[in-house]
Amino acid sequence: MSSDPPVAPALVFSQVSKIYGTASGGRLAALQDVSFTLPPNRVVAIVGRSGSGKSTLLHLAAGIDAPSSGAVCVAGRDLQALSERERTLLRRERIGLVFQFFHLLPDLTVLDNVTLPELIAGGSQAEARARALDLLHRVHLAHRAKDPVQQLSGGEMQRAAICRAILRRPSLLLADEPTGNLDDAGGRAVMELLLGLAREEGRTLLYVTHSAEFAAMADARWRLHSGVLETP
């Protein structure tokens, strides 16, 4: 009797450290010997003070930066064993990114911003538009699909950015202070939509937040302190 092959963890850090040089010739440890395994379909919040290493951890998880030591694996693949092109393709296929500052193209419509990742990847325009419209409907933005994105409020822009991040069904979603530019009400609405979409679609979500309230919405809360990760 055959069985399904085991599913690789969404993200694994193995004794990862990141050291930066300082202007005075010293060394600054942004992350120190961080290890964890993040299984599929899990939502985890990372909290910590500014400068504790939260954004560094997300950049390493996305393959945007490289560790000084240790290994980072996404969907079973060691990022350091890949070429720059292979990392870019893996990020395109497996990882969705949500930033504090949206990074939308202001002169494009909402729909064009959301479909852009699929078109860059060479996918079907018709399928991308259908998927984007479905996501926009689920975050209550379908009526703004043809509007220039610069006409949206901050909360609406972040909802569009979430749709863009999840468009290609990435196995891993990474969000860096996704509510940092929003007021309390807008921030809560965005977090509820982000977590709701991640759970509905079976995505793993790792997000950074300063808010204890928003961190409590995750399945688990991890804390970074001076580059050292504390997990329950």
Residue 217 falls within a domain, yes or no? yes
Residue 131 falls within a domain, yes or no? yes
What are the pLDDT digits (tens) for 132-165? 999 999 888 899 999 998 898 888 888 898 899 9
**What angle do helix axes 110-120 and 154-166 make, rounded to 10 degrees?**
20
CA dist., res. 13 & res. 36, Å (int): 5
Q: Of all residues in the chain, what percent carry a pLDDT higher than 90?
A: 43
What are the pLDDT digits (tens) for 91-114? 888 899 888 777 888 889 999 999
pLDDT grade for 6, boundaries at 50, 70 and 90: low
Structural contact between residues 209 and 184, judged by C-beta atoms closer than 8 angstroms: no
Sequence-distant (6+) residues with CB within 8 A of 60 are 13, 16, 18, 31, 66, 67, 72
Q: Which domain holds residue 182?
A: 11-230
Residue 1 falls within a domain, yes or no? no
What are the pLDDT digits (tens) for 32-75? 999 999 999 999 999 988 878 888 999 999 998 999 999 999 98
CATH number of the domain bearing residue 162: 3.40.50.300
The type of residue at 80 is Q
CA dist., res. 102 & res. 123, Å (int): 23
Domain count, the chain: 1
The pLDDT of residue 2 is above 60: no
What is the pLDDT at residue 99?
80
Residue 144 pairs with which residues in a beta bridge?
none
Residue 3 falls within a domain, yes or no? no
Residue 134 falls within a domain, yes or no? yes
Residue 6 falls within a domain, yes or no? no
Residue 4 falls within a domain, yes or no? no
DSSP-assigned states of every residue in 212-229:
HHHHTTSSEEEEEETTEE
The pLDDT of residue 180 is above 70: yes
Residue 41 falls within a domain, yes or no? yes
What is the pLDDT at residue 23?
78
Q: Give the dihedral sign, CA 145/148/152/158.
A: positive
Q: DSSP code of 210?
A: S
CA dist., res. 35 & res. 152, Å (int): 40
